[in-house]
Structure 1
Amino acid sequence: MPYLLLTLSALIWSGNFVISRAMNNVIPPAGFVFWRWVVALVVLLPVVLPRLRREWPIVRANLGLIAVCGLFGVTLFNFLIYTAMHYTTAINAALVNSAIPIFILMFARIFYGQRVVLRQHVGIALSLIGVAAIILRGDPSRILTLSFNHGDLLVLLAAIAWGLYSVAIKRYPQGLNPFVFLFSITVAGLLLLIPFYAWEIAQGQLMTLNQPTVLSIAYVGILASVVAFTAWNHGLRQIGPHIGGQFVHLMPAFSTILAVIFLGERLQSFHVAGIVLISAGILCATYKIRA
């Protein structure tokens, strides 16, 4: 079940990357993050209100953790990604974003002393090779033509933020409802986002209100925020961040499949090879040999 939830998160977030790139000219980054999580709060409110008063002592006792998760998972990661999409390509973003599992492993080692066995190292390597096969379109020489800019640095900072968020989930408070937790970190993240959003409005950067923007906000607010975050948090709590983080590598594979289905792009041999390698790497990293 946790593997299915993590896979679902990767699938939904693949659509989030496509939408953020497509809408970067009509939805400013801070506004995108702000309204995305406002929608999430509205969706969560009916579920959370009956539980919030009862579970408030747990929330109050873990305000530090909630603030950390809100900062890294809600505010910084999303703001940095949406800002980066104004300056970099989807290919570069996918390439840099593939470093997330590495950061998760590094932080899990630093904060929890989590060891990684050889099998998991092999799985990570296979997944990275699969990501590279898709991004470089099966031609290693294409790496020489890639150019990087400050947008790619923002994606790298976002990857670090997500790595910190993912390892923080290991301290998830016992007895706290997942929706109450998500609601709490969303409130914290929005409060921390206010200075960025206020500065953006002062600069005259406002969202264009039309059907595409409303549908985009609805997608990222309901699916990419409520559904994907809840699934991701639950999956990491079940199997740990050092293993669950590998499912980030599914995003380039899912992006390829979505492009073939919805954009009419042609499935190439390097796509198939990349998807197979990513799947093999995740299987290698997560499979447990039973006596």
Structure 2
Amino acid sequence: MQPERRGDLLILAATLLASAGWLFSKEAIIGLPPAGFVGWRFLLAALLLLPFCYRKLVNTSPELLLKAAAIGLVMTLNLIFWIQAISHSEGIGEGAFIMSLAMLMVPPFAWLLFKERPLRQFWIALPIALVGLFLLTMENGLSLSLSQLLFLLASLSLALYFNLNSRFARRIDPMALTCIQLAVTGVMHLLYSASFEQWPSSIAPITWVWFSASVLLATSFRFVLQSMGQKYSPIANAALIMMLEPIWTVLISVFWYQEPMPLPKILGCTLILLALLSYRSRNLLAWYRSRKAGLTRF
């Protein structure tokens, strides 16, 4: 198998695991407090990654470690909004599409924080995405439900995290950076859980199955597959494949939770996906031209 094809398949597998992670999380928090679940999930995932990046962490300066941990606090905020949104939602498909808007929220944050003006594709994609968001949430008229509002806040905080992390990631090994941020997120959620949540006296065995799947499959194994895939898959390929995550999540939600998908909601999801594709059109067009040129030379 060609390396590029292998990379695409690994990215696709990581995307499917990410989508399944929504299901694992929602099922796990039926028997576990939300913040406590996230805390143990991310802390254990960090411990699983630790043996693979221990030496790189030791060789990293304390200043960089502190900055990585600080960005991990932004990830903590994002996960607080996300897990609370899941706990208040009946399904997970709608939330996955609202979360996917984070890609379009990255340019405004970059403009505000780093004076980087958005590309022309952003101004084309933005109104399409806003119409899609309106159709997705129009069941409540001009207001958002609590879960929709929390998903939107999670999307905004994720865009902020992307901006900060992308400018810092070049200065530290990616696996070491991920390990630190997972650990910070886990510890902060456990502190929150200890302060404000009450753990049940007994936990059903099936809950631990969902929890284990979240830690091993949707977090640790997914990260490994994604990292391996990004070594071989072109950036445009990886970006396009990863856009499929909300689609897989909707399919899972419709099958597992019988989440209703009336026509306005389907149109809203479609418009959000089109907005993401139009925003990525420049990279996709460059990738297509390079592929076409390569085939012509062949």
Instruction: Confirm whether residue 85 of structure 1 aligns to residue 86 of structure 2.
Output: yes
- Which of 212, 219, 224 is residue 218 of structure 2 equivalent to? 224
Superposed CA RMSD in Å reads 4.2
Of the candidates 145, 149, 153, which is equivalent to residue 148 of structure 1? 145
Matched, 1:205 2:199: yes
Cα distance, 1:19 vs structure 2: 3.1
Matched with 1:36 is 41
Alignment of 1:6-17 (within 5 A): 11-17=16-22
Deviations 1:132-162 (CA, angstroms, capped at 9, x unpaired): 66x46xxx6x45397623x444333322321
Identity of aligned residues (%): 21
1:50 deviation in Å?
4.0
Instruction: Output the amino acid matched with 2:60.
Output: W
Name 2:293's counterpart in structure 1.
none
Q: Give, in whole Å, the separation in 2 of the partners of 1:122 and 1:285.
A: 8
Which one-letter code corresponds to 2:111 in the other structure?
Answer: R
Q: Counterpart in 2 of 1:171?
A: 167
Q: Is residue 2:106 matched to residue 1:104?
A: yes
Q: Structure 2 CA distance, aligned partners of 1:267 and 1:89?
A: 12
* Distance in 2 separating the partners of 1:114 and 1:47: 35
Task: Note if contact 1:98-1:131 (Cα within 8 Å) is conserved in structure 2.
Answer: no
Rounded to whole Å, the distance in 1 between the matches of 2:185 and 2:160 is 15
**Hey, what's the Cα distance between the residues in 2 that align with 1:249 and 1:132?**
20
Letter of the structure 2 residue corresponding to residue 118 of structure 1: R
Letter in 1 for 2:72: G
* SS in structure 1 of the partner of residue 60 of structure 2: helix
Take 2:119 and 2:37, find their aligned partners in 1: how far apart are those partners? 40
Give the conservation status (yes or no) of the 8 Å contact 1:104–1:167. Answer: yes
Contact 1:62 1:173 in 2 (8 A): no
> Is it true that 1:56 corresponds to 2:68 in the alignment?
no
Following superposition, the deviation at residue 166 of structure 1 comes to: 0.9
In structure 2, distance between residues paired with 1:154 and 1:271: 18
CA contact (8 A) 1:27 1:207 kept: no
Measure, in 1, the Cα distance between the counterparts of 2:278 and 2:144. 32
Q: Do the aligned residues in 2 keep the contact of 1:37 with 1:190 (CA within 8 Å)?
A: yes
Distance 1:208 1:123, change over 3 A: farther
Superposition deviation, residue 205 in structure 1:
2.3
2:71 paired residue among 59, 69, 72: 69
Cα distance between partner residues in 2 of 1:264 and 1:17? 15
- Counting matched residue pairs gives 273
Aligned mate of 2:184, from 154, 164, 188: 188
Q: CA deviation at 1:89?
A: 3.7
Native 8 Å contact 2:12 2:241 kept in 1:
yes
Structure 1 residue 71: Cα displacement: 0.9
Change (3 A) 1:153 1:220: same
Which segment drifts farther, 6-15 or 24-33? 6-15
Per-residue CA shift, 1:29-71, capped at 9, x if unaligned?
A: 1211111113202321221224333x322xx231343122211
Matched, 1:281 2:275: yes
1:258, distance to aligned residue in structure 2 (A): 2.9
1:258 to 227, 252, 259: 252
Q: Which amino acid aligns with 1:16?
A: G
Structure 1 residue aligned with 2:52: 47
Q: CA deviation at 1:222?
A: 3.0
Aligned-partner Cα distance in 2 for 1:266–1:93: 13
User: SS of the counterpart of 1:45?
Assistant: helix
Q: For the structure 1 residues 25 and 266, does the alpha-carbon distance in structure 2 shift closer, same or farther, using more than 3 Å as the test? A: closer
5+ long unaligned stretches in structure 1: none
* Contact preservation (8 Å) 1:131, 1:252: no
Asked if 1 retains the 8 angstrom alpha-carbon contact of 2:97 and 2:272, the reply is: no
Instruction: Summarize the Cα distance change of 1:239–1:112 in structure 2 as closer, same or farther, 3 Å threshold.
Output: farther
TM-score normalised over the length of structure 1: 0.71
Gaps of 5+ in 2: 290-298
Alpha-carbon distance change, 77 to 112 in structure 1, aligned in 2, over 3 angstroms: same
The residue number in structure 2 matching 1:23 is: 28
